[in-house]
Structure 1
């Protein structure tokens, strides 16, 4: 079946009028040019034959159902469905009430209700007063003026308790067919002027003082999302010419143990509010009970932290060179040490046969591999050498070793300085935060108190239990200013709404401190959306109104006035960062290891010396005894 199926449900009581009613209905339906199926509700069995005979000539399917049927069929799919009813049928009013209870007057259904010339519009409106024919309904009343003419009016209400309104759309004559008066075919365009109809809106305020600053842009970091959406909803009410009656709640709404919703969602589900005046997260359990109409606030809550210094997560003293350079350097040292040892050994061997004068008065390198090793290490650390070879080949070897290691040392030192000033980008996921040295805090808001304890995903659950609320400790929920202060001190990740969070960052951080800010999202939800009642009759016009606010720039302007974007890094590398003990930790470990090894060797030497003296005395004493 085509997705543009147009279904017609016809209900007749007097088949004698079919010769005029059926052509009128046929012309009116063909005006939409989408008919494929006819489902007729008839009062008598004899009417079904005439119904099928007339409409089966052009339409694909025809089906007749008794008007007294216990269950009204709900067409699937419901798109382009039209019900046609003879209003003079004795069961017509009861049928309309049943249809209203099953929401068959809401979009996308269409209705045509026909009456003969004994009725006028004012009298007929009373038959529809009890029905919820709201702004999205499409109900056409066709009144027979004579045997060849029908006048056509559409009726609706602007609100449930409002009065019935009439729109004259044209007439039908047997000679000219359907003739409209040029009315706007799109319903929401024709009815978007609500004429100051009062709509109820619920807003969420977590700080009572925010009620005094909803529009003056003061304390924009408090209830930011409420302030942005309050102004947008006010603009939205202007586009539809409605008046808003506000109620205030302290929470967006969550399901309690009795499966009842609290807060703003509770008002929407109980039909106490028409519009949710504060955007909220789009979650699977909420989609079933409310309708989301537009994303008004492009902001999210994330962990924000300063990227830790590279020395906090890695040994910067091994990073200047990659593995191949380190291997080449070690090979160079080994080769040069072996060459130097061979040259020194050759020098001392030559001295036995040739007397060589030391004209420089420098200390010669002793003929020992230990001395050669110490000389090589001293050159590597740019400490020079207290002794040098006295032969020309030996000095050439030592000069080559000094020059080559000088270039390596210069490159190494330059890289070390840069690395000590660098930050690390190793923390990219929630799991990285969980296993890092970062402390964690969360903004003290209603939704954070709900989503963090109820997290079920393993990493998020572990992050909450181990870092946010460790056993035996107070949960780490902080105010924004306290959390941003801790974040500035470093090694602290703060979960906060990005707009208010970056406002404090811009005001309190120095320029170089704004560099290296990192974001990681915790909540698995998209940007907040504005919501209304489920199946609200205002849904279409409100969606179009919000899209209009977005297209003409009002939404972007209001969001920009409240929400602060991530600060740009404009002074990277222009400031000096002091080197702390943590940065020098690997060097301190090497120093401590060397001192420990030296002390152990000293103790070993003392022990060995004492043992040697002991055995020497014992040997001499035994020798005297034997003598």
Structure 2
């Protein structure tokens, strides 16, 4: 009796439970089986894109379908469920870690988000993603390298006008049918719009259609590129008030923009400085903009050093060179006024005078000691002083002697002295001809040590450049001396970078100013003029690269293309286009040139003539006084007596 009763109650309970369950399915309290069809498409996308980590934000009503999603994935895919309120905290540490590693491929595998919730929840999660990208993602990590799958569970539309994420797809389904729809977010003339990829009961997708923007680089993004003029890499141009830059860096930017599908706008630092570190640890100029992430990159190559590497990211080197010193050449003033005595060094003249006096003395001694009973010998001995003096002076002046020695020893001395004078006068004539016709510039210094120890030339270097920073921080005695002189130039010059550059170039062309620059920049400065020369010694080897904010993924993204510029031979082509071929007169410290003679070349000869005429006039006046005026006065006084 009890068993049939118990069995009837059990059947009634089962029937009641079935009715309740059927009612809940019909009223939508729990999702029907057809609502989980989109999860099959999601799992296919995750497997197809080889996503290693997927973050899922969901509403509580969708957990059944989401657990079915996890069952369709392999163990290689890590699913992490997160709520709307914890989404930001969960992703912050992940993004920061990925930025530190700088591995773009890892970013693409691990930054994947599935939003299976209401349209309001999806919209808020997208805004949170943009804020995260601005805060820890360098404005690029989530924007370009993450993938977003949107599955709204209501009919509210998703606003995409201001959405900057590149890789976003939308999966929707019809509640009344099994029709599903997949759309991807693309750019159109009217702005960002959804483009339907597939629609139907079954979704057919492939790698090339799910996230097509992964094949379009930066997807039309506009980068802020900071620059200052530094020829030949950065040549400033103005068009209707808009500042642009060309040069070798402009060639790089055009090449990269075409390769990665982005546009760019040039900006300049407000202080027009390259950048130096202040006492509070911050930087000015271009480096400061990159440190504060107010610019996406700098197109002008920056030399690498440890301090800059703490606030900037460097790509593959685009320039490897040395530094040099430029100065204005000057002619040797001795060619004008001292050319007659500049043929020999002063030591040669001293030795010549000593030898001449010695020959004269020997001749006097020979005249005194040689026995000669003839009348001519006695006469010659009576004039030993005048004869010895004439024998010493006349051969160097290429004059023949009237009195020939009458004895063999005197003739041998006279012959040797005459041969010596012939050789010396020939050398003097050759040097004099070379000094008058061959133009050679004076080299004021050949090394940094000579530059530091001279006081004629002031020294300058670009403000905030790597060259200035390296000299300032050097412990070498020579560079310390040079830095003191550079500081003196900076103290009286403009503080702005462009104005300082113009000021130092003006000083360079005025003369007696040594301008320290990179070798490439010096070639551009010296082009078209023969009045500038470079110091022979090269110093301070530098490696320069394009720079980005610290840990910017764009630096890693552009790395391979910058490297390909060197491998494909584009850099020599651009260098030849923007760096002019130097003329033969560009290095006056080495070249010599035959020049025509001018009046000023004979100033020294005219001066010698003037001195000779003056001395002769004084001698004439003296002789007139001694031999004419004095005797007359004596005769007159005698008559009076």
The residue number in structure 1 matching 2:450 is 432
- Aligned pair 1:462/2:498, yes or no? no
The residue number in structure 1 matching 2:528 is 507
**Contact 1:321/1:412, CA 8 A, preserved across alignment:** no
Q: 1:134 aligns with which of 141, 144, 151?
A: 141
Q: 1:518 aligns with which of 528, 532, 535?
A: 535
State the Cα distance separating 1:346 from its structure 2 match: 4.0
State the Cα distance separating 1:410 from its structure 2 match: 0.8
- Once residues 224 and 519 of structure 1 are traced to their aligned partners in structure 2, the CA distance between those partners, rounded to angstroms, is 35
- Aligned pair 1:282/2:282, yes or no? no
**Aligned pair in 2 of structure 1 residues 210, 425: CA closer, same or farther (>3 Å)?**
closer
**Aligned pair in 2 of structure 1 residues 384, 532: CA closer, same or farther (>3 Å)?**
farther
- TM-score under structure 1 normalisation? 0.54
**Contact 1:282/1:525, CA 8 A, preserved across alignment:** no
State the Cα distance separating 1:242 from its structure 2 match: 1.4
Superposed CA deviations along residues 50-99 of structure 1, whole A, max 9, x for unmatched, are xxxxxxxxxxxxxxxxxxxxxxxxxxxxxxxx997443599996655432
- Once residues 448 and 322 of structure 1 are traced to their aligned partners in structure 2, the CA distance between those partners, rounded to angstroms, is 45
- Aligned pair 1:203/2:249, yes or no? no
State the Cα distance separating 1:553 from its structure 2 match: 4.1
What runs of 5+ residues in structure 1 fail to find an aligned partner? 1-27, 32-81, 142-158, 167-180, 217-222, 603-627
State the Cα distance separating 1:263 from its structure 2 match: 2.7
The residue number in structure 2 matching 1:229 is 249
- Once residues 261 and 447 of structure 2 are traced to their aligned partners in structure 1, the CA distance between those partners, rounded to angstroms, is 47
The residue number in structure 1 matching 2:368 is 345
- Once residues 532 and 559 of structure 1 are traced to their aligned partners in structure 2, the CA distance between those partners, rounded to angstroms, is 23
- Aligned pair 1:212/2:207, yes or no? no
**Aligned pair in 2 of structure 1 residues 194, 426: CA closer, same or farther (>3 Å)?**
same
**Aligned pair in 2 of structure 1 residues 417, 538: CA closer, same or farther (>3 Å)?**
same
| Segment drifting more, 493-502 vs 275-284 | 493-502
- Once residues 109 and 579 of structure 2 are traced to their aligned partners in structure 1, the CA distance between those partners, rounded to angstroms, is 52
- Once residues 113 and 556 of structure 2 are traced to their aligned partners in structure 1, the CA distance between those partners, rounded to angstroms, is 32
Secondary structure at the counterpart of residue 219 of structure 2: coil
- Aligned pair 1:99/2:102, yes or no? no
State the Cα distance separating 1:412 from its structure 2 match: 3.5
| Segment drifting more, 492-501 vs 463-472 | 463-472
The residue number in structure 1 matching 2:66 is none
The residue number in structure 2 matching 1:164 is 167
Secondary structure at the counterpart of residue 257 of structure 2: helix
Which has the larger Rg?
2
State the Cα distance separating 1:411 from its structure 2 match: 1.8
**Contact 1:311/1:582, CA 8 A, preserved across alignment:** no
Q: 2:218 aligns with which of 181, 194, 198?
A: 194
Report which of the two has the higher share of helix: 2
The residue number in structure 2 matching 1:254 is 276
State the Cα distance separating 1:288 from its structure 2 match: 0.9
**Contact 1:205/1:251, CA 8 A, preserved across alignment:** no
**Aligned pair in 2 of structure 1 residues 496, 286: CA closer, same or farther (>3 Å)?**
closer
State the Cα distance separating 1:548 from its structure 2 match: 2.5
What runs of 5+ residues in structure 2 fail to find an aligned partner? 1-46, 51-74, 149-161, 170-204, 495-499, 623-641
**Contact 2:275/2:287, CA 8 A, preserved across alignment:** yes
**Contact 2:395/2:418, CA 8 A, preserved across alignment:** yes
The residue number in structure 1 matching 2:514 is 493
**Aligned pair in 2 of structure 1 residues 120, 559: CA closer, same or farther (>3 Å)?**
closer
- Once residues 326 and 543 of structure 1 are traced to their aligned partners in structure 2, the CA distance between those partners, rounded to angstroms, is 67
**Contact 1:251/1:446, CA 8 A, preserved across alignment:** yes
Superposed CA deviations along residues 340-368 of structure 1, whole A, max 9, x for unmatched, are 34542345x42xx334489xxxx947564
**Aligned pair in 2 of structure 1 residues 357, 535: CA closer, same or farther (>3 Å)?**
closer
Q: How does 1:110-509 map onto structure 2 within 5 Å?
A: 110=106, 123=116, 130=129, 134=141, 161-164=164-167, 193-204=217-228, 210-212=236-238, 227-249=247-269, 250-296=272-318, 302-306=324-328, 340-347=363-370, 349-350=371-372, 353-356=373-376, 364=380, 368=384, 372=388, 375-382=391-398, 385=401, 387-391=403-407, 393-418=409-434, 421-425=439-443, 427-436=445-454, 438-440=456-458, 442=460, 446-447=463-464, 451=468, 455=472, 457=474, 458-463=477-482, 465=484, 469=488, 479=503, 482-487=506-511, 491-495=512-516, 502-503=523-524, 505-509=526-530
**Aligned pair in 2 of structure 1 residues 227, 95: CA closer, same or farther (>3 Å)?**
same
State the Cα distance separating 1:259 from its structure 2 match: 2.6
Secondary structure at the counterpart of residue 507 of structure 1: coil
